[in-house]
Each structure stands twice: as C-alpha cells, then as structure tokens.
Amino acid sequence: MSRHAAIELDWGDGTYTFRLGLEEIEELERKRDCSVFELARRMSPQVASPRSGDILDTIRLGLIGGGMAPVAALGKVRHYGERRPLHESRLVAFAVLLAAIERVQTEDIEAVLSGNDEAFEPMRLNFAEIIVSAARMGIMQPMLLSLGQWAAAVRVWNQTQGGTVSPPTDGEFEAAVARASGA
C-alpha cells in the first residue's frame, strides 16, 4: 500500500490510517454520484451540508484505503459513524478528502481538526482557481466532473499548451467570472 496521501486521525475508538487512493476515490464518486471536489465543498466548515452517506462512505473507504479489511471498516462505521452524532465524523471525513485531493500527509492535515482556519489556510481548496482554470479550458461546470475527468482534462490541456497553467491575474479572474455568469 502506498503511503501517499495517507493520514492518521483519531476517530471512534482509536487512531487509524485513512487514505483515498484512486480506486477508493472512483468508488466514492460512483456511490455518491458527485466528484470528490463537490464532497469536499459539502463537508467544508463554510458550507457544512453533507449527506450522512457522504460522511460515512468517505470514512469507510478511507479506512479501507488505509489498510483496514472492508468488513472491519464497515463495522467501525456502523458502530462509530451511524450510532454517534454525525458532526463528530464530518471533520474527519473532510480531512480524509482534503488529504486525497491535495496528496498531503498527517502533519499537514492536523489544522483541519484543530478548527484553526488560519493554520489551515495554505491547504484550503481554492474553488475560484479551479473554476477560472476550467473556464480557460472551456469547461463551464468543473464541479460536476469527477476527479478522474478533471485530471484528464488538465493533462490534455497541459500537453496542448506546453506546460502548466499559471494562476490568473485579478483582471483575468474578474473577466472569467463575468463570462461564466453571463454578464
């Protein structure tokens, strides 16, 4: 098992390794019928509107990706996820998603659980940057794409453009927002 994007978090009755590899991400996106970006948005402290299945499936698949047997992971989720208040598991699921998206490790994600937004700022998902980059590529609704579809679009864009996409200037951002909103 790769340790890439594996994080250790306290949850339920102990400290567990969570990891969403590509297989787990694809299963999660299939089960929840949305991208990991959308799941992260729903679970973020600013939005905080996930469905119970968003939280429980993320934790179950994170445990499996972290090396736990599927039956054991399901048992943990049933015992500590379904029987306890969901808010206790929401930030854990959010941290697991961010680790998968950003490919970070345990020490980078601890700020999520501490509730210290300033400490977490360097890792915050920049949805505006994702949307602007997508608009530059002609993709009007990037949040509807799965992680695999988004990665493929970025890979092809980078190949045809000869490198990586640099962040937009403030003017480019404002123009892209105006185009995307139909103004």
For residue 98, what pLDDT is reported? 83
d(CA 64, CA 71): 9
Q: Cα 152 from chain centroid?
A: 17
pLDDT tens per residue across span 38-84? 998 888 777 778 899 999 999 999 999 999 999 999 999 999 988 88
List the domain range (segments joined by +) for residue 12.
7-123
Residue 65 CA to residue 58 CA, distance in Å, equals 10
pLDDT at 142: 67
Residue 1 in domain: no
Apex 148 CA angle, 143 and 151, nearest 5: 80
Domain count, the chain: 2
Examine the pLDDT at 162 and tell me if it is beyond 70.
no
Q: Which residue has the higher pLDDT, 95 or 102?
A: 95
pLDDT in tens, 108-156: 445 545 555 444 333 344 555 666 676 666 776 666 666 666 666 666 6
Please tell me the distance from the alpha carbon of residue 97 to that of residue 123, in angstroms, as a whole number: 12
Its pTM stands at 0.59
Q: Are 85 and 132 contained in the same domain?
A: no
| Burial state string for 32-69 with b = 16 or more CB within 10 A and e = fewer than 16 | bebbbbbbbbbbbeeeeebeeebbbbbbbbbbbbbebe
The pair phi, psi for residue 18, each rounded to 5°, is -120, 140
The reply to whether 139 and 111 lie within a common domain is: no
